[in-house]
Amino acid sequence: MIQVTTEQMAVFVATLSVAILSPGPGVIAVSQGAFALGRRRALTYGWGLAIGASVWCLFALLGLTALFRVAPWTLTALKLMGGAYLLWIGVKMWRHAADPLPDPAQGRARGLWAGMALNLSNPKPALFYSAVLLSIFPGALGLADKGAIYAVALSVELLFYTALASLMALPVLRQRYFASKFWIDRGAGFAIAALGLSLILRP
């Protein structure tokens, strides 16, 4: 039986929504993908990003941050590996900025798994979810409660990335991207690489 209240869920959704709106590697990547590849291909990538982000919620519900407290080196290792992956993605975007636009039907693979990998490369959401869960749901959570919270988190993430991919694929925005592809791709690559570097260097 689910014990969490509607009010708690509403606060959780509001808090998560505000956090998702802050620019991160997923937002940058799905926006650039929608510009370059169109809505259909960007949606698959965006859903991968949503699932990847929601997995951190699941890990937090299962007590991953307890592991971080007991063995801090595990968080350090995750941050180093995740930061290196984001750096690699950013450098690739920078280097390919001058490439011609890919064929939307045969564009560079940005599928479900690629989206999941990008959002799983950053362990910060695990800490965010843990802090939010502890503050909003202070009591002991049963299996049904955890399932309901995860389902809500996944739904919010999917809704956000679906809306973002659809918005950024609008013809007027894509036309502006086509006119400035080199600089937009360079900017996106720099931003993702900078986020990766900050993940590695920040204590």
Whole-number pLDDT of residue 105:
46
Domain assignment present for residue 32? The answer is yes
Express as a percent the part of the chain with pLDDT over 90.
21
For residue 23, pLDDT over 70 is answered with no
Mean per-residue pLDDT of the chain: 83
Domain assignment present for residue 110? The answer is yes
Total domain count, the chain: 1
Domain assignment present for residue 195? The answer is yes
pTM of the model: 0.77
Helix crossing, 25-37 with 112-120: angle to 10°?
Answer: 160
Whole-number pLDDT of residue 187:
86
The whole domain housing 189 covers: 6-201
For residue 1, pLDDT over 70 is answered with no
DSSP code for 62:
T
Domain assignment present for residue 51? The answer is yes
Distance CA 154, CA 76 (A): 26
Domain assignment present for residue 127? The answer is yes
Domain assignment present for residue 1? The answer is no
Domain assignment present for residue 152? The answer is yes
Long-range own/partner contacts, residues 174-182 (CB < 8 A, 24 or more apart): 174/34, 174/35, 174/38, 177/35, 177/36, 178/101, 181/35, 181/36, 181/97, 181/101, 182/97, 182/98
62-90 mean pLDDT: 80
